[in-house]
């Protein structure tokens, strides 16, 4: 059952230097009970895509043309997210049908309230739990994300938490309302590997238990391999490859995906050279014409890749990539 459908999403920002295109014609689906990984280098548009799902990109964001985001939470009518014009209507979705774990945990907590007060408040808004039950569930969730002495921590302020603990508290708060869709933006980057494994396990359990769908953003392909069912690879605002994790990581079709994999350290062969992708990611104000990756691509064909945008090509029924090398000449 499709939980989220994103079609031709384009997001631009009006800035002093000009109009920045952060997301360019992105389409993907996410089913209930599925974890979709979104990967790409810094600045590729992952967070902007995620924030679009909750209209959190700020006042200077322009959502382009035919772009459409449809959310179909279990048993409810589909919601046209970009069509929700009133803050009040979007507020019902945020924290209820959709929860988001932000890259910056401080953004999720108010400094003047205790962590517990905020968790209970959120549960009281989005569920019909009593104050007592909301407190118990909050303490349970803090424990489940690996916060020891959760009863004491419940009454503390966020500035009393370490960075990793803030991250975990935010994850606990986001998961406590059991949203239909969880957007997790680099949820485990600040955590050490054992806690990271614990948090990933918790998310997987909740997917199995409640059929929650997760959009999991990271630039760590190792985490994607452990966590996601499908993966979407993003570069300069474009999705260049999508497919089942196994297919994409074992048989990457796009030169960018191959580049990302070649740049990963191999734990089983520490002498293997790391091969970085040549060149720098261009600034959003000078996005290349044609295929956005052609300026860094060893396989770029003169006169084609710099001129024309490649279309989405089917590699297998469940694996797609946008690259001229894959297109069969007509």
Ligand X SMILES: Nc1ncnc2c1ncn2[C@@H]1O[C@H](COP(=O)(O)OP(=O)(O)OP(=O)(O)O)[C@@H](O)[C@H]1O
Binding region for Mg ion (CB under 5 A): 47
Least Å from the CB of residue 177 to Mg ion:
23
Beta strands in the chain (DSSP E): 2-15, 18-31, 35-39, 61-63, 68-71, 79-80, 98-101, 181-185, 213-217, 230-235, 238-244, 313-316, 319-321
Nearest distance from residue 134's CB to ligand X, in Å?
32
Q: Which of ligand X, Mg ion, none interacts with 40 (beta carbon under 5 to 8 A by kind)?
A: ligand X
Nearer to Mg ion, 47 or 196 (CB): 47
Query: Does the protein bind ligand X through residue 42 (CB under 6 A)?
Result: yes
Of residues 103 through 122, those in contact with ligand X by CB under 6 A are: 103
- Binding status of residue 40 toward ligand X by CB under 6 A: yes
Please report how the helices 193-210 and 163-176 are oriented relative to each other, as an axis angle in degrees rounded to 10: 0
- Site membership for ligand X, residue 47 (CB under 6 A): yes
84 phi-psi bin (left φ>0, alpha ψ -120 to 50, beta other): beta
For 108, the token pair is 């999720």
User: How would DSSP label each residue in 150-184?
Assistant: HHHHHTSBGGGS-HHHHHHHHHHHHHHT--SEEEE
60 is in the binding site of which of Mg ion, ligand X, none (Cβ under 5 to 8 A by kind)?
Answer: ligand X
* C-alpha of 13 from chain center: 19
5: tokens are 């459908």
Q: Which residues from 271-290 bind ligand X, rule CB under 6 A?
A: 284
In whole angstroms, how close is the CB of 307 to Mg ion at the nearest point?
A: 30
For residue 152, the minimal CB distance to Mg ion (Å) is: 32
* Binding-site size, ligand X (CB under 6 A): 17
Q: Which of Mg ion, ligand X, none lies near 48, with the C-beta cut-off 5 to 8 A by kind?
A: ligand X
| Residue 13 is a binding residue for ligand X (CB under 6 A) | yes
> Is residue 161 within 8 Å of residue 105, measured between CB atoms?
no
Give whole-number Cα distances, 174 to 30, 72, 89, 99, 109, in Å.
19, 19, 19, 5, 11
Asked whether position 218 contacts ligand X by CB under 6 A, the answer is no
Residue 22 as a binder of ligand X (CB under 6 A): the answer is yes
CB-nearer residue toward ligand X: 106 or 301: 106
Which tokens belong to 250?
Answer: 């074992």
Q: Decide if residue 20 touches ligand X (CB under 6 A).
A: yes
Which among 129, 89, 137, 93 has a CA at the least distance from the CA of 4? Answer: 93
Nearer to ligand X, 43 or 290 (CB): 43
Contact residues for ligand X (CB under 6 A)? 13, 15, 20, 22, 40, 42-48, 58, 60, 103, 219, 284
């Amino acid at each position: 059952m499709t939980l989220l459908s994103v079609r031709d999403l384009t997001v631009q920002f009006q800035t002093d230097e000009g109009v920045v295109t952060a997301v360019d014609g992105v389409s993907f689906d996410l089913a209930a009970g599925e974890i979709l990984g979104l990967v790409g280098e810094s600045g590729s548009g992952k967070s902007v895509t995620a924030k679009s799902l909750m209209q959190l990109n700020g006042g200077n964001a322009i959502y382009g043309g035919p772009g459409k985001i449809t959310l179909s939470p279990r048993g409810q009518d589909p919601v046209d997210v970009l069509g929700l014009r009133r803050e009040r209507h979007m507020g019902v979705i945020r924290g209820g049908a959709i929860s988001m774990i932000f890259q910056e945990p401080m953004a999720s907590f108010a400094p003047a309230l205790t962590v517990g007060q905020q968790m209970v408040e959120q549960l009281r808004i989005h569920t019909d739990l009593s104050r007592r039950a909301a407190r118990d569930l909050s303490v349970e969730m803090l424990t489940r994300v690996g916060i020891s002495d959760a009863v004491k921590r419940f009454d503390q302020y966020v500035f009393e938490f370490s960075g990793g603990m803030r991250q975990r508290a935010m994850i606990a708060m986001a998961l406590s309302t059991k949203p239909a869709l969880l957007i997790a933006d680099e949820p485990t980057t600040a955590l050490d590997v054992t806690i990271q494994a614990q948090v990933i396990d918790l998310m997987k359990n909740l997917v199995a238990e409640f059929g929650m769908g997760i959009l999991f953003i990271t630039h760590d392909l190792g985490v994607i391999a452990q966590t996601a069912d499908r993966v979407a690879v993003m570069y300069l605002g474009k999705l260049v490859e999508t497919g089942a994790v196994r297919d994409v990581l074992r048989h990457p079709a796009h030169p960018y995906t191959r580049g990302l994999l070649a740049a990963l350290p191999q734990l089983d062969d520490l002498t293997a050279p790391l091969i970085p992708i040549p060149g720098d990611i261009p600034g959003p104000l000078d996005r290349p014409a044609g295929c956005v990756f052609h300026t860094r691509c060893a396989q770029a064909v003169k006169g084609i890749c710099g001129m024309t945008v490649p279309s989405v090509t089917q590699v297998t029924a469940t694996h797609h990539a946008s690259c001229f090398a894959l297109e069969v000449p007509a």
